[in-house]
Chain A
Amino acid sequence: MNAVELKGLCKKYKAKRGETRAFELKDVSLTLPYGCIMGLIGENGAGKSTTIRLMLDILEKDEGEISLLGCKTAEDRVKAKDEIGVVLDDPCFPDIFTAVQINKMMKSTYSKWNEEQFFAYLERFEIDKKKVVRKLSKGMKMKLSIAVALSHSAKLLIMDEPTSGLDPVVRNEIVEILHEFTRVPTNSVLISSHIVSDLEKLCDYVAFIHKGRVVLCDEKDRLLDRYATVHCSADEFDKIDPSAVKGSVDTHYGVDAVIERTAIPEGMNFEPVNMEELFVLFVRNQHL
């Protein structure tokens, strides 16, 4: 069983004034098994948020299929949302509410709302429950969103850029919380970010989105095993099978490239790739 299944998801926006081309999300297909964390990686404007908004029926899809926790129609997904915790990139609670009022509101919205857990999270995050939302810092607002998402026994967390704009300490804390969440074997997380280092710590699966298309989607460990970074001269680089090269960049000392390990010529030095290098060089390659 999969917590999330997307098949051939498409969405085309109309071109805004001054834009030569309209953004289009094309044929996005993803599968997130239960108990796993998937990271959606992409630069700003790649289509991560659009994908998430389509999944949550905030936007209307043009084509494709969406299945969340096994629910395939929009009507079914309304019920499924009782078990889906959502954190959007911009904390959305009304500015004039306090955490106490948000608790009241959520208690009447989610069938499994856990008041004690919510207040425990508030205490842990050191959020003043009597302070109105507009007086909270961005990090605090994000933590509040996460507290809400984690307090109604969700089985699936969908998070859109929860760590952007936050300091490293808070980001680390969020990573820890998500690790705790996925200790329950049936809990899954889909998280988008352009801060690749955060996702590297977290994810079991990664999907690279670039210009509205999924260009790479696989298990993180498999990707790291499959690719490596080489630093070589231009002559040495020319000997490598071009189809194995996922990305390269010319430097003062030669070429840095991410290539499939199986295609590395014998005797050439290589290093394990990290997600950030893989992502950056991959995107550069797509631009070429």
Chain B
Amino acid sequence: MKKALVNQWYIVKMNFFMLLSFAVLHVLQLVLDFTFASDFVVVGVLFAGLFVGGYAQNAKWKTYSKTMPISVFERVNASFAFAVGQMLIALAAVLTTNIVSVYVLNDVGAINLVWSLVDVEALPKEILAYSVAVAWFAGLSILTAFCFFISGALKRYFAIAGSVAVLGTMFALIMLIMLRLDGFLTVFANVMNKAPWQLAFVVIACVLLLLASWFAVLGIETVNSPESKKRFITRALVIFAVAVLTFGGLVGYSYAKGYLVIPEREDKYSNYPHYNDYNDKTPEATTEPADEENEKRIMDDVYGFLSEGMCVDLTMKDFEKRAQRIGFEKEGNEYISESRNIKFTVEGDSEITEFNLVNDSSCNGNIVLSKAEGDAFEEKFSLGMSEADLIKLFKNEGIYPAYITEYYDFADGYDDRVIVRKYNLYLQQRNSAPNRLPSQNELSVQYYTLVIHVAEGKVVFVKSY
């Protein structure tokens, strides 16, 4: 076993830089602070899994190793040990970088340092996050392809085809992560929460899958012993079938019991400050009388939701789902929450065209609040200030643009065309540290639109909506 493991060491060496890049890029991901860190752990494991057949990368060496006094068991065991080792290394890399970034980088303000080095503040954060994710996967894919090439394992056209396949898979994974993986993880967590004993079945099924693949590889690798080959392959198939049945049974049982509920996309929604409080409570619990502070919190959240709901181009269907999730009942085009004493109407066909808060007796509402906040900022702008000063003012007030749309207009009295910038703004939450960008979790839901007209480099018109 030992000697076979030593023979696999070269693969670890070959892939080491890939793991290193994984760690570096993961740090980058954390520094840029997008919120699907848990997905990266999963993808890390998936990616390491691509190397389960690691030694197969080098066919020449694999051939040569068959001339050595190493049994097929030793070779296969070593490969599996290598695969498990590599997965552990990947996990260790992720955990280490997490710990480093959370406990070290934050404290020394490295995030600010990075942000100041890279002038990305003006860019929408989501676009940055997506770009980095794409770059991350593309980088890994290119490295994978490079590994195929240097290993000399595959013929060139296989390497190219393999690289394309890897790239395609990675991009597909990005989409999967962005769209659904959070949901799947939530499903898993939900099932485990309600029926923790099912974890035992998951573990059993995983062990069976590992065992099945071990037998399969043994069968493939066994040479000049047809009986052994047949025996190993048969075992692999039987164990694989049992593993599939275990998984299938688990899923079927969960579904029958109602544990398996695919959640809606709630990535943005889950960022609301008190979302988890609502999510954990049963509908009855939310109808309990709330104290003043609690009521304010609820109102903030609801109005935040409504404001967000108005601004992110939700379809009517998505809007309806969101409203119902936090306890609004729909009657025609009216949404009513008796416990919160709120009613609003929404008009529109597929997309929202009109939104009206009908009952706002307890508070002016976020829509109005946003407008009020916007007005407050509007007063601080002085016409004629430069655009650079305007950006500074934003920063000083803790405002960070989320989306910027830009278009041109012609206005009387100015020689040049007037640049009209429509800023959709987040207000920074009060409890985040000064001089540091808020993370997505810290972002307030307060959200409004500011339209700024700039002509000849000067602000000529500001209006909040």
Write the B184-223 contact mask toward A (1 if CB under 8 angstroms, else 0): 0000000000000000000000000000000000000001
Kindly identify which residue among B13, B60, B68, B150 contacts A90, using a CB–CB cutoff of 8 Å. B60
State whether B67 touches A78 (Cβ < 8 A).
Answer: no
Closest to B68 in A: A109
State whether A95 touches B152 (Cβ < 8 A).
Answer: yes
State whether A108 touches B2 (Cβ < 8 A).
Answer: yes
State whether A94 touches B69 (Cβ < 8 A).
Answer: no
B287 within 8 A of A: no
Interface residues on B, range: 20 to 34
List the A side residues contacting B69 at CB < 8 Å.
78-82, 109-111
List the A side residues contacting B386 at CB < 8 Å.
none
A109 and B152 alpha carbons, distance in the complex (Å)? 23
Tell me the minimal C-beta distance from B9 to chain A in angstroms.
7
Write the A79-111 contact mask toward B (1 if CB under 8 angstroms, else 0): 111101010101011111100000011001111
Tell me the minimal C-beta distance from B319 to chain A in angstroms.
57
A-B contact count (CB 8 A): 71
A84 and B9 alpha carbons, distance in the complex (Å)? 23
A184 within 8 A of B: no
A66 and B224 alpha carbons, distance in the complex (Å)? 10
Closest to B226 in A: A60
State whether A88 touches B64 (Cβ < 8 A).
Answer: yes
A1 within 8 A of B: no
List the B side residues contacting A96 at CB < 8 Å.
10, 13-14, 150
List the A side residues contacting B10 at CB < 8 Å.
94, 96-97, 105
- Interface residues in B1-28 by Cβ distance below 8 A to A read 2-3, 6-7, 9-10, 13-14
List the B side residues contacting A84 at CB < 8 Å.
67
A266 within 8 A of B: no
A168 and B66 alpha carbons, distance in the complex (Å)? 30
A177 within 8 A of B: no
Binds B, one of A51-59, A234-242, A245-253: A51-59
B61 within 8 A of A: yes
Write the B160-172 contact mask toward A (1 if CB under 8 angstroms, else 0): 0000000000000
B63 within 8 A of A: yes
List the A side residues contacting B68 at CB < 8 Å.
81, 109-110
B345 within 8 A of A: no
List the A side residues contacting B224 at CB < 8 Å.
57, 60-61, 66, 74
List the B side residues contacting A94 at CB < 8 Å.
10, 14, 58, 61
Question: What is the interface of chain A mostly: helix, strand, loop, or mixed?
Answer: loop
Closest to B71 in A: A78
Closest to A54 in B: B224
A249 and B70 alpha carbons, distance in the complex (Å)? 49
List the A side residues contacting B13 at CB < 8 Å.
96
Tell me the minimal C-beta distance from B223 to chain A in angstroms.
5
Kindly identify which residue among B2, B63, B150, B152 contacts A88, using a CB–CB cutoff of 8 Å. B63
Write the A60-79 contact mask toward B (1 if CB under 8 angstroms, else 0): 11000010000001110011
A73 and B58 alpha carbons, distance in the complex (Å)? 27
Tell me the minimal C-beta distance from B66 to chain A in angstroms.
5
State whether A59 touches B223 (Cβ < 8 A).
Answer: yes
Closest to B6 in A: A108
Given contacts A74-B224, A78-B70, A81-B69, contact A109 B6 (CB under 8 A): yes
Given contacts A95-B150, A96-B10, contact A108 B70 (CB under 8 A): no
Tell me the minimal C-beta distance from A75 to chain B in angstroms.
7
State whether B3 touches A109 (Cβ < 8 A).
Answer: yes
A105 and B247 alpha carbons, distance in the complex (Å)? 41
State whether B58 touches A57 (Cβ < 8 A).
Answer: no
List the A side residues contacting B71 at CB < 8 Å.
75, 78
List the B side residues contacting A73 at CB < 8 Å.
225
Write the A245-272 contact mask toward B (1 if CB under 8 angstroms, else 0): 0000000000000000000000000000
A94 and B14 alpha carbons, distance in the complex (Å)? 10
Tell me the minimal C-beta distance from B161 to chain A in angstroms.
16
List the B side residues contacting A79 at CB < 8 Å.
69
State whether B63 touches A58 (Cβ < 8 A).
Answer: yes
Tell me the minimal C-beta distance from A127 to chain B in angstroms.
18
Can you give 20 A-B contacts (C-beta < 8 A)? A56-B66, A57-B224, A58-B63, A58-B223, A59-B223, A66-B224, A74-B223, A75-B225, A78-B69, A80-B69, A81-B68, A81-B69, A82-B69, A86-B67, A88-B67, A93-B64, A95-B150, A97-B10, A105-B9, A110-B69
Having A109-B7, A158-B67, one finds 18 other A-B pairs with CB under 8 Å, namely: A56-B66, A57-B224, A58-B223, A74-B223, A78-B69, A79-B69, A81-B69, A84-B67, A88-B63, A92-B60, A92-B61, A94-B58, A97-B10, A105-B6, A105-B10, A108-B3, A110-B68, A111-B69
